[in-house]
Structure 1
């Protein structure tokens, strides 16, 4: 009972800290009021566009982004754009392009779907926009998934260590600047972290089809969600090919099912083309922009991505990544293999030619690193 009370306290502290991030005003939304944080400008807006164009549902909002010829005497302009041939208004309009919170002033944003990444997280964000299209609502799923990931880390670490060290590792996640920050922002990586943590928990529980389902869901958030597949191939391959085949087929089925609303309207040919284009995009360096980093930088907490300024919030990570990596190379148990596989996947992308990686990608493998930290602490305690 005491361990659950301690876990509750950890989760409560974590949610308070993530709420302080989620309640930041952001920018490029309503003039003089709230707006978007970091890359929310791409994910939140593409979610709104998918909601409108693929699910035929407008966001629930008093704001309309439209053209001047659609205005009426009751329309009140609240935002004008430089890079978009439109205005955002409240009040009655004769027609509109999009209903929802004012868009960031980005060229082409009104028809942007973010096909560089699969759609699952954008479905969730779009659902929140259908309920109420305001910044805090976009970020609620991230906060919930961040807390749920901590619970999965505790449950997984308890399986390999015990309550004390599982609690210690879970508490350490509060000090992971990247994981904590991404749990308060409507971006994709916290969804990826949750499904990867779920995969590890289900693997340790011996639930083969559950592992495949979690892998398929992770891959439906970002294509990097497939990185644990290399480790799973090794782990299941030692026991016979059919276990890995079952995981792979389940993952493919889940991925296809999640993508059906997109593929159904685009057509299979264009959908496949978009996937191939995304793979090409992910293995090619992009033009200069935010501070890029390589996977070695992440271990040394160098070249951190700036998520917000004033207050300054950086995706600066934690020393736990490096400690866990060294321990994983020594231990080489199941969680170690999955950690090495997931982290190594980013090195593969880097070596294939994409040198514009960002430090917030570490959100993906932070749960695995902290499960390993629990095992390390337990090993140290037993040797004393």
Structure 2
């Protein structure tokens, strides 16, 4: 019997299914970008009086990026504003911001000289010479590049939105390898519900960069590209030192196969990290740069003075003691139950993605046990991609077992009837 006229071939059905999945993925990414943009366009504070400004810890990262752009790359930000001293003003200068903690003013118009060109600084003591050496410089290079194009709040946040969307795509592509397209799409959609990841994708802070490179590392590992894994690890560590946390899992995964494989990953990561830091080390001098790195590692293992609500890695699993990113509207880095679900499943599953999740999450416990008890809930942005890949894998496994159980029941019924 021939097939009905106009019935599609199986390949055509498959192609249509793939198209539907990718259209759904585009919708998920579009919804995510809408939410990220709604954060990125919030007014902020401590910038222009009565106008836009900084959100949360942007006060440290955006300003240090501007300082690095000016002092290390000899390039001023593209802005009509100048932060300068009173003796540099002219008759054409118009003061737009005065400071209580800085011996400076921000002006528009003509100036005889200036300290910094760019969007008005927050009123923080020492901010005009702050480079944020507590963290490596890679993300600040990107923010500085945006400031060189146009130094205003939305432009600082464009890379965060783009990297957030790219991270979702990487989560889908990675989850597809271990869970299939349907459950990969579900896991990616659930990631949009992660309050922390969604909010951090609209703010010019470091953690969304860290999330992207961690997701890239997982994708390259599942694709069988160890040198790419090393490069992604080095890039993650060049954003924040916590980017190196997957190293523990990679040491176990690659060390089981061959010490040479792990050595290749490690050497690629180290080389990438050094290359990313060369613009800073080249001007500071190697000895001063090493001193700054060691000082940063000491800083990261020491508790800070009281301030924003701190938390420990256990709090993150239960969404307790969440960091306030913005007030009115209230935006908290409150995370998602997926972190706990993924942790329990990874302890059971113990595959490569599970090991990388345990390694990354466990790295924060290591920092906590070494003495730093002022951790913050937005740090979960880094391992959110891993958690949602595991959730997709869990859902796929539950679905498989459900189908197998249903098939077994049907066979049993048929046997009884016969």
* TM category, shorter: over 0.9
Name the SS for the 1:92 alignment partner.
strand
CA-CA distance at 1:219 after TM superposition: 0.2
Instruction: From the CA coordinates, give the structure whose radius of gyration is larger.
Output: 2
Q: Say if 2:341 is the partner of 1:323.
A: yes
Q: Say if 2:206 is the partner of 1:188.
A: yes
Q: Say if 2:268 is the partner of 1:288.
A: no
Q: Which residue of 1 aligns with 2:41?
A: 23
CA-CA distance at 1:320 after TM superposition: 0.1
Q: TM-score, normalised by structure 2?
A: 0.92
Q: Distance in 1 between matches of 2:331 and 2:342?
A: 24
Alignment of 1:125-204 (within 5 A): 125-204=143-222
Q: Distance in 2 between matches of 1:174 and 1:246?
A: 35
Q: Distance in 2 between matches of 1:211 and 1:383?
A: 32
Alignment of 1:265-284 (within 5 A): 265-284=283-302
Q: Distance in 1 between matches of 2:197 and 2:218?
A: 17
Q: Distance in 2 between matches of 1:378 and 1:321?
A: 17
Q: Say if 2:53 is the partner of 1:35.
A: yes
Q: Which residue of 2 aligns with 1:114?
A: 132
Q: Distance in 1 between matches of 2:257 and 2:400?
A: 30
Deviations 1:280-320 (A, max 9, x none): 00000000000000000000000000000000000000000
Name the SS for the 1:314 alignment partner.
strand
- Alignment root-mean-square deviation, CA: 0.3
Q: Distance in 2 between matches of 1:324 and 1:258?
A: 32
Runs of 4+ deviating beyond 3 Å: none
Q: Which residue of 1 aligns with 2:108?
A: 90
Name the SS for the 1:75 alignment partner.
strand
Name the SS for the 2:83 alignment partner.
strand
CA-CA distance at 1:53 after TM superposition: 0.0
Gaps of 5+ in 1: none
Gaps of 5+ in 2: 1-18, 403-418
Q: Distance in 2 between matches of 1:363 and 1:39?
A: 15
Q: Distance in 1 between matches of 2:163 and 2:66?
A: 20
- Pick aligned residue for 2:84 from 61, 66, 71: 66
CA-CA distance at 1:205 after TM superposition: 0.3
Name the SS for the 1:72 alignment partner.
strand
**In the comparison of the two structures, how many residue pairs are matched?**
384
Q: Say if 2:319 is the partner of 1:309.
A: no
CA-CA distance at 1:240 after TM superposition: 1.1
Q: TM-score, normalised by structure 1?
A: 1.00
Q: Which residue of 1 aligns with 2:382?
A: 364
CA-CA distance at 1:262 after TM superposition: 0.1
Q: Distance in 1 between matches of 2:393 and 2:106?
A: 53
Q: Which residue of 1 aligns with 2:226?
A: 208
Deviations 1:164-204 (A, max 9, x none): 00000000011000000000000000000000000000000
Q: Say if 2:400 is the partner of 1:382.
A: yes
Q: Distance in 2 between matches of 1:251 and 1:134?
A: 33
